[in-house]
Amino acid sequence: MRMLDILDTLIGFPTVSKDSNLALIDWAQGLLATAGFDVVRVPSPCGQKAGLVANRGGSGGTILSAHVDVVPTEGQPWTRDPFALSREGDRFYGRGTTDMKGFVACVLALAEELPANAGPVSIVLSWDEELGCIGIPHMMDAVRALGPQKLCVVGEPTSLKMATGHKGKVAWRGLCSGEAGHSAMAPMYRNALHGACDLVAALRREQAALLQDGAKEDGYDVPCSTLHVGVLRGGTALNIVPDSAEVLFEARHLASDAPADLLARVLDGLSGITVSETFAYPGLAADPDDPALAQLRGLSRGLTKVSYGTEAGFFAPLLPTAVCGPGDMAQGHQPDEFVELEQLTGCLTMLRALV
């Protein structure tokens, strides 16, 4: 089966986000060009990575979008080589089989077999999604240059259900300033860790308010926007008043909530804190009854929303967009990651009907 041959090749490229993806991109670019696609290569700012925007048939078609980076395997108890596709029964194992090279394999197999009378189709392959959707913003000019398209499918693993929503995310770094001094004279100096704790307390108050009175949206395990502190660090020694401290925190927000408003409420009344955004991606809130999504909805295995973020929010302002792909994210990022054969063949069947 050609799709499995392609998946075998894709898994063999160790495209962990911290490393280059150029070998995979070179190979995929050659495959798409041979299949008759016009391919635009978009380099990353560092030059060590790239994405592809490929089109066959012009405007008015379907965009199939995926990332080709994968998460690391270090520290995970794999029982097999994560970068060599292996099979047990109807399960195919390897890093990225579910998230999301299984979908990429289906898309590239489709590209090779498209008949002459197939509708227009575009393929977008991005980098560094796993680091916070870092690559796709650099590619949107090339996507817009495709002209008007009717639909975008982002093939993250949804067990082939059509996902119409996910929360957006903003990550922030808070730097809290203080004054260094001997701890014996602590009350005479401003302790940066105290400011950091004030920030954490403000985040907790805002989270409680969101749970109590914030906007709610059905379909999520936590129906409101959430705030989270992941890292707090500062100080050099017990007998020195810290002159700086750092807090890394995030919002996972409903598409209807503006993260800038959340942050403003958190920071109200605090001083000595400088906050910078480290990365962000928008949420997705598609209308499941949108006529442009009707065909995909009919081909999918039901409706859902997903808890993880995707690149779909970048496409949604341009055209109707949904998330739908093979595999279950419960397997993604895990040791011995796998995807079921039935999911792959079901995905390819869906894509054939769609385009």
State how far the Cα of 273 lies from the Cα of 266, in Å rounded to an integer.
11
Instruction: Assign 116 a pLDDT band (cuts: 50, 70, 90).
Output: confident
pLDDT per residue over 208-250, tens digit each? 999 999 999 999 999 999 999 999 999 999 999 999 999 999 9
Is the model's pTM score more than 0.95?
no
Query: What is the reported pLDDT for 256?
Result: 86
Chain centroid to CA 195: 32
pLDDT > 90? residue 166? yes
pLDDT > 90? residue 73? yes
Which residue stretches of the chain are H helix?
Answer: 2-12, 22-34, 102-113, 140-144, 192-213, 259-267, 294-299, 312-315, 341-354
The rounded mean pLDDT for the chain is 97
State how far the Cα of 131 lies from the Cα of 69, in Å rounded to an integer.
9
pLDDT > 90? residue 204? yes
Average pLDDT, stretch 296-322? 97
State how far the Cα of 312 lies from the Cα of 332, in Å rounded to an integer.
18
pLDDT per residue over 117-163, tens digit each? 899 999 999 999 999 999 999 999 999 999 999 999 999 999 999 99
Coil, helix or strand for 302? coil
Encode burial over 276-285: b for 16+ CB neighbours within 10 A, e otherwise.
eeeebbbbbb
Q: Which two tokens stand for residue 164?
A: 């119409």
Torsion angle of C-alpha atoms 339, 9, 115, 314, degrees rounded to 10: 70
The answer to whether the beta carbons of residues 298 and 131 sit under 8 Å apart is no
Q: Residue 64's closest CA among 345, 311, 346, 327?
A: 311
Instruction: Assign 269 a pLDDT band (cuts: 50, 70, 90).
Output: very high
Q: Which residues, listed in sequence order, are joined to residue 86 by a DSSP beta bridge?
A: 93
List phi, psi (to 5°) of 173: -120, 120
37 DSSP 8-state letter: -
Instruction: Assign 347 a pLDDT band (cuts: 50, 70, 90).
Output: very high
pLDDT per residue over 148-157, tens digit each? 999 999 999 9
Q: Which two tokens stand for residue 86?
A: 């292996």
